[in-house]
Amino acid sequence: MGVNGPPGTGKTTMLRDLIAALVAERARRLAALPDPRQAFTGRQLRWKTGQYNRVVNVWRSDLAGFEVVVASANNGAVQNVTDEIPAAAAIAEFWREQAAAVDYFPAIAGALLAPEPEARTPSPGAAPSPPGAWALVAARLGNKANRGRFVNTFWYHTPDEQDEDAWSGLLSVLKTYEQTAPERPWSEAVADFRAAESRVEAIRAKRSDAYRAVEERAELDRELARLAAAVPAAAERVETARGRRDVAVRVERERTEEAERIAQERRLEAERVARRRRDAAERIAGERQAEAERIVSGRRANAERSVRSWEAELGRRWQARAAHQQSRPGWWEWLRTLGAANGRWSRQDKWLDTEVHAARRELDAAQAGLDAAQREVDTARRAVADAERDLAAVTRLLADGVPTPNVTHEPLLAARRELARADQEVTAAARALAAAESAGTPPEAGSPPSTTGLPGSQPPWASTIRTPPGGPIVSAASRPRCGRTRSGTPPAATCSSPPSRCTRRSCGTRPPSCAVTCRRLWTS
């Protein structure tokens, strides 16, 4: 990964954390081995350089890949990083004793930190002393000179027998390890590592919990400050919402009066229409009654007389034909007159039959006229009955009084919708104000508990941030500002009287614990 930044921005510190994480992860994977010999796959790599045969035992793949190469176009910056990381001065004083106990080849690391021989300028009479190192975790490489110096110092160095602080290169160290038994068994070392790892995890969890608690406390403090600062704005919103509601109430009242006027005008119009209907019904009833009487006394009477006349005429002609039928000539009369008498009788009989049929047709026509006249009479009488029923209904309506109709006045409906919205806005603004006032009330002295080591903990009074006080909402002007004095600081009085004796005057001189009770009593 690429790291870029000006001096003093934490680049080396970041690399230290990265190296520490790599070392710890490789240790976890080594600790998972039941035997350290299982770190090798059993396969060997062999090659020859000059007269030397090289043999390397191959590691398991999951134990490789933890190397770090720091490269840069600025050699000085890379050298500074490489020298700082293993230097003893990089360890804080509090940890130097534990770092020394690690004993991770500090002599070899110190020798690698020593400057080049030609760069050393010891003072006269002073023996050169290499800079202190705490662990062999980094070395300068790169050019051939650095690589050669690293190989000679790190691998092949042999101690001077006369030097009390003699140290050997890693080749000698490994050969010594190969010939001697380890100071402690592998299982014990793994157990110590697991115990240290558990302690680290416990410390990390505790610090994470503390960090979360501090962050939550800071968030609560910011929320309290925000809500306390929001009280004036919330009060202004309440007043603005109340003003809009007052306007909506006035408009709704005006629109209601308009709707009532419209309904009254429509009622008067309906009453006028009812009176006109009554007059029309009286006139129609009289006209239909007169018409029915004219039909009864005129056309129907004439039709009845005609029917009776033709009934009598039909009877007379029928009797004349019947009498003629009795006078039919006999055989001898027919023979005496040689049939002449019989011919005269037949002609007379046909004429009489024709007269009977004519009378019957006239009677049927007279009966049809009578039926038509009767239908006209019935129609006229039904019209009279309808007119009388309409007249009776209108008369009852006028006697009982014409009701005021329901008026759908769209401006009134719009005004009521606006009033409902204004009421909701006032309620929401009042609740927001109550929540802001409650959240902005500081806790009693010494009440905010410490949040260290308690994940997600918060003081009890912080719940007022998220939970507005219950009870009906009242206006800010009518609600006493319990728990605060005029200067905005919590009063120093004690809660000496029970909540049942809480009054508007005593409410403003009580501490916050009593003020909450006062506020709830007054708002309910």
pLDDT digits (tens, 9 = 90+) for 90-105: 888 898 888 888 888 9
pLDDT digits (tens, 9 = 90+) for 147-194: 999 999 999 998 877 667 788 999 999 999 889 988 889 999 999 999
Higher per-residue confidence, 46 vs 486:
46
Q: H-type helices in 1-74, by residue range?
A: 11-31
Angstrom distance (rounded) from CA 345 to CA 14: 154
pLDDT digits (tens, 9 = 90+) for 486-513: 334 333 333 443 444 444 444 444 444 4
Average pLDDT, the chain: 79
Higher per-residue confidence, 235 vs 489:
235
Angstrom distance (rounded) from CA 483 to CA 54: 86
Q: Which of 2-6, 422-426, 463-467 has the highest mean pLDDT?
A: 422-426
Give mean pLDDT, residues 208-233.
88
Q: How confident is the model at residue 131 (pLDDT cuts 50, 70, 90)?
A: low
Contacts of 250 (CB under 8 A, 6+ apart): none
Q: How confident is the model at residue 40 (pLDDT cuts 50, 70, 90)?
A: very high
Q: What type of residue sits at position 39?
A: A
Q: How confident is the model at residue 27 (pLDDT cuts 50, 70, 90)?
A: very high
pLDDT digits (tens, 9 = 90+) for 7-23: 888 888 888 899 999 99
Q: DSSP 3-state assignment of 44? A: strand
CA dihedral 346, 349, 354, 360 (to 10 degrees): -150
Write out the two tokens for 4: 């870029």
Contacts of 506 (CB under 8 A, 6+ apart): 497, 518
- Report whether pLDDT(481) > 60: no
Q: DSSP 3-state assignment of 282? A: helix
Q: How confident is the model at residue 55 (pLDDT cuts 50, 70, 90)?
A: very high
- Report whether pLDDT(417) > 50: yes
**Closest Cα to residue 510, out of 459, 460, 441?**
441
Q: DSSP 3-state assignment of 52? A: strand
pLDDT digits (tens, 9 = 90+) for 319-367: 888 888 888 777 777 777 777 777 888 888 888 888 888 888 888 988 8
Higher per-residue confidence, 318 vs 495:
318
Give mean pLDDT, residues 285-289.
83
pLDDT of 507 reads 44
pLDDT digits (tens, 9 = 90+) for 238-266: 899 999 899 999 999 998 999 899 988 88
- Report whether pLDDT(437) > 80: no
- Total count of residues recorded for the chain: 524
Using CA atoms, how far residue 120 sits from 123, 147, 166, 273, in Å, is 10, 19, 20, 126
- Report whether pLDDT(424) > 50: yes
Name the pTM for this structure: 0.46
**Closest Cα to residue 157, out of 145, 144, 173?**
173
pLDDT of 313 reads 85
